[in-house]
Amino acid sequence: MRLIKNGNILFRDELNKMDILFDEEQILEVAENLQADCEVIDAEGLTVLPGLIDVHVHLREPGFEQKETIRTGSSAAAAGGFTTIMAMPNLNPFPDHRDVMEEYLKRIANDAVVNVIPYGTITYGEKGGEVSDMSGMRDLGIRWFSDDGVGVADDSVMEEAQKKAASLGAMIACHTENMEYRAPGASVHEADYAGVMGWKGIPSACESSQLERDLILAEKTGVKYHGCHISAVESIKALRTAKDHGADVSAEVTAHHLLLENTDVKGPDWKMNPPLRTHEDRMALINALEDGTLDIIASDHAPHTEADKNKSMADAAFGIISLETSFPLLYTEFVYRQKRWTLAQLVNWMSAKPAERFGLGKRGKIEPGYKPDLILTELGPESVIDKNSFLSKGRNTPFDGWTVNARIIETICGGRTVFSRKSN
């Protein structure tokens, strides 16, 4: 057993000076002035939160270990306050049938620092053709399927996949991208700024048109459907319509789409897919998160080598790293500076809501009986984001040098300390 004392605990959406007693299986008690004959963690001056949950992470292993590994990516997650992450399946080999998934799960069990839950693919090889071995992977406990990185273009394949997932009690999580709208070399949002900079643009319809199709099918099939990294006003409108119709749908937004706009783009470290869009889009995303149209904040952590990014905008890889920066950035901007959100709201979008929507069990809250996944944070004092201090292999971030008012001091996963800034 271990006991956290003297911390400000986020308990039932309120901060209170309380103690937490836990073992490796569960939180045992949350109350004032607890006493126990066990290790005591002094959280004086710190705020204790439930471990964060990220439903959209790229760990790159197997197949692309030069970018990231299960070990380095999950270590970065711990440093960012995430105790559960869900790993996207655009790997080599793709986890598209039982045998590959079985081997993948063994790697995760051996190397992961935090809880890592993998997605299976929707189609074999993410080629958009034949629906993957969902049943075989479901037998291994996999209930989440995505072809992240590409959209499923064929309407009939998507309908078949949704029906199969629905029959298995599984979720479909989609990166929607209609490639008819994306010209070769396109790298940023299609707007005047792209033309000024000499870059090819990607219109919002590239995302929203396929999302609209998916949502119509989800209403028809009854599948549990989740939209990945929503970025555009048009997509928000489609989600509102689907929810109004009673479809079992949800969607996420990333920290970078909440913080940055297309005119902030300076080079490849600002290149992501979907791209940063206009001020109108960004404000619509914030409002949609607040009114419940968007449900979850995710990172879309996408590490690349320097060689991947040290190219022209047309040729550089899409994606930025964000596991170690998402919570500090969002807390600083929306809770500390703007005071637009409460700490409880932010944590709910990054912890309790992902756990609930994705069926991850008793995670995301500090309550007796819940998993002993906790983070000790220092809120208020300034620090500076330094990409060279990241535990991720990636350095591709637009946030290097930004000042933040939140730091993760210690991360506890499964009752054990998996990250401590005191020793880093």
Percentage with pLDDT > 70 across the chain: 100
Position 422 scores a pLDDT of 72
Return phi, psi of residue 176, to 5°: -100, 125
Per-residue pLDDT of 273-296, as tens digits, reads 999 999 999 999 999 999 999 999
- Quote the CA–CA distance of 225 and 218 in Å, as a whole number: 7
Residue 421 corresponds to which tokens in the numbers above?
A: 């800034």
- Cβ burial, residue 328 (10 Å; 0-12/13-18/19+): buried
- Helices 98-111, 70-79: axis angle to 10 degrees equals 50
State yes or no: pLDDT of 304 exceeds 60: yes
18, 21, 237 from 33: Cα distances, Å: 7, 11, 49
Q: How far apart are the first and last CA of the chain?
A: 24
Mean pLDDT along residues 358-369:
98
Would the CATH topology of 2-47+371-423 be identical to that of 51-357?
Answer: no
- Cβ burial, residue 270 (10 Å; 0-12/13-18/19+): buried
- Quote the CA–CA distance of 361 and 195 in Å, as a whole number: 48
| Residue at 289: amino acid letter | L
**Half-sphere exposure of residue 246: CA atoms within 13 angstroms, side-chain side:** 3
Per-residue pLDDT of 78-97, as tens digits, reads 999 999 999 999 999 999 99
* Given 54, 300, 308, 373, the catalytic residue: 300
Any idea which residue has 């149209």 for tokens?
293
Domain ranges (residues) in the chain: 2-47+371-423, 51-357
127, 160, 168, 393 from 156: Cα distances, Å: 14, 6, 19, 39
- Quote the CA–CA distance of 274 and 202 in Å, as a whole number: 8
Q: Please state which CATH number belongs to domain 51-357.
A: 3.20.20.140
331, 381, 411 from 403: Cα distances, Å: 12, 10, 22
Mean pLDDT of the chain: 97
In this structure, what DSSP letter does residue 351 have? Answer: I
Per-residue pLDDT of 340-349, as tens digits, reads 999 999 999 9
Per-residue pLDDT of 209-226, as tens digits, reads 999 999 999 999 999 999
Helix, coil or strand: residue 38: coil
Q: Please state which CATH number belongs to domain 2-47+371-423.
A: 2.30.40.10
Per-residue pLDDT of 386-414, as tens digits, reads 999 999 999 999 999 999 999 999 999 99
300 catalytically annotated: yes
